[in-house]
Structure 1
Amino acid sequence: MLNFNFKDNYILEDDVVKLSPLKIEHVHDLIDIANESDIWKYSFIKGDGVKNLTAYIQSTINNRKAEKDYPFIVFDKIKNKFAGSTRYCEITPILKAIRLGYTWYGKEFRGTGLNKHCKYLLFKFAFENMGAERIGLGAYVENDISIAAMESVGCKKEGVLRSIFPAIDGIGRTDAVLMSILKTDWESSVKSQLQKRLNLIT
């Protein structure tokens, strides 16, 4: 079983980023980012506009209560601004497995290294505190940027779920690329590689 309590308010942070539990009042902090035109391109659940974002956040808060999700709001300490959101989801304690997804950042925070800091903190907490053995990730097959970002933090491609999502143009269906990182990957190489890239060790 995982060592994890959904009722606890976990804070994950380093000198660059702070992840804290997402709350309904964060609608105000995230609405400008949520309204950026490309945020929801690769998501069949939309969060643009106050109504949609409120429903989006309330849904994951409800899933936290049901012990399925644990959502975070992401704060960029360098820019002193909220940057976006991410979450642990599909948490399966008996299998010691979780999925990491629903990650989105505003344009000004992409390509800054923020995502790598977030992933490092999320991986570290999952493997070293929660006792997870596996973290799954995924993306639309067309989402080359997201797939490359996952590969850049040590995730490995596992396969494809065929025709799992509605197509982004609204016509037909499209595939999802499945990726993962295992505890053994983390311990053998991924942790030290990320630490070097983030200048956490010399």
Structure 2
Amino acid sequence: MHHTLTFAAHGVRLLPLSPLHAEQLFAAVDAEAWSGMAARRPESVQELAELFAARLADPSALPFAVAAEPTGALAGTTGLYDVDERLGRAEVGGTFLARPYWGSGANAASKLLLLGHAFETLGLHRVAFRVDTRNGRSARALLRLGAVYEGTLRSHRPDHGGLGRVDAAVYSVLDAEWPLVRARLLARLAPHEAPAAPFGAA
């Protein structure tokens, strides 16, 4: 949905997604960066803008662009999807980052901000993640932060490369688990934080 939410911490700023962001982000949409995404890889700025517009048209979605601080350069996208406050649940999705931001802490910071909004502001009880079972890197990262593997959705969607269908592994974090997950995300971000200036420094 269209929204005005903005969050910033740990070197990233989450901004309301706009189709206008497609022009800046399209150059980052290569096959590897887009690997594992549920949506087919866009082949033009216009197709990426249409994908962003579709996310904004979803009334249960809170899509964001990820900007790097302090430059403001766009690093990628992420968001909360299938948000159901009545049932207390949502899913993190639509996440991709340009290659220069891999390993930078931008992904962990984005998850920290999204999960904080989900659990602390919206009061949700469950946030899920779906991962292509071939994407071992993402699966290992979710387990390290404390998400729990729940099972695999077999033949969940078509493979966009024309190689049959894709299985999706489901992970989740519950509200009672959020403090541990938050602590682990902060620990992962610590090496990326700027050191404090010495006392008395100008």
Task: Give the TM-score category using the shorter length.
Answer: 0.7 to 0.9
Q: 1:58 to 1:184 in 2, by over 3 A?
A: same
Q: 1:186 to 1:11 in 2, by over 3 A?
A: same
Which residue is 2:129 aligned to?
137
Q: Is the 8 A contact 1:41 1:168 kept in 2?
A: no
2:187 counterpart of 1:193: no
Unpaired runs of 5+ residues, structure 2, are 194-202
Give the alignment partner of residue 113 of structure 1, picking from 76, 80, 105. 105
Which residue is 1:96 aligned to?
88
Q: Is the 8 A contact 1:160 1:177 kept in 2?
A: yes
Q: CA deviation at 1:169?
A: 4.0
Q: CA RMSD in A?
A: 1.8
Q: 1:173 to 1:7 in 2, by over 3 A?
A: closer
Q: CA deviation at 1:8?
A: 4.3
TM-score, normalised relative to structure 2: 0.86
Give the alignment partner of residue 50 of structure 2, picking from 45, 50, 55. 55
2:31 counterpart of 1:40: no
- Structure 1 window deviating more from structure 2 (52-61 vs 167-176): it is 167-176
- Count of aligned pairs: 190
Q: CA deviation at 1:90?
A: 0.9
Q: Percent identity?
A: 27
Unpaired runs of 5+ residues, structure 1, are 1-5
Q: CA deviation at 1:17?
A: 0.3
C-alpha separation in 1, matches of 2:136 and 2:97: 16
Amino acid at match of 1:41: S
Encode CA deviations 1:13-59: one digit per residue, 9 max, x unaligned.
1140000100121122212112x232333234223311210111110
Match of 2:15, SS state, is strand
- Structure 1 window deviating more from structure 2 (166-175 vs 156-165): it is 166-175
C-alpha separation in 1, matches of 2:19 and 2:151: 35
TM-score, normalised relative to structure 1: 0.86
4+ residue segments displaced more than 3 Å: none
C-alpha separation in 2, matches of 1:47 and 1:149: 26
Q: 1:142 to 1:121 in 2, by over 3 A?
A: same
Q: CA deviation at 1:80?
A: 4.2
Which residue is 1:152 aligned to?
144
Q: Is the 8 A contact 1:27 1:53 kept in 2?
A: yes
Which residue is 2:200 aligned to?
none
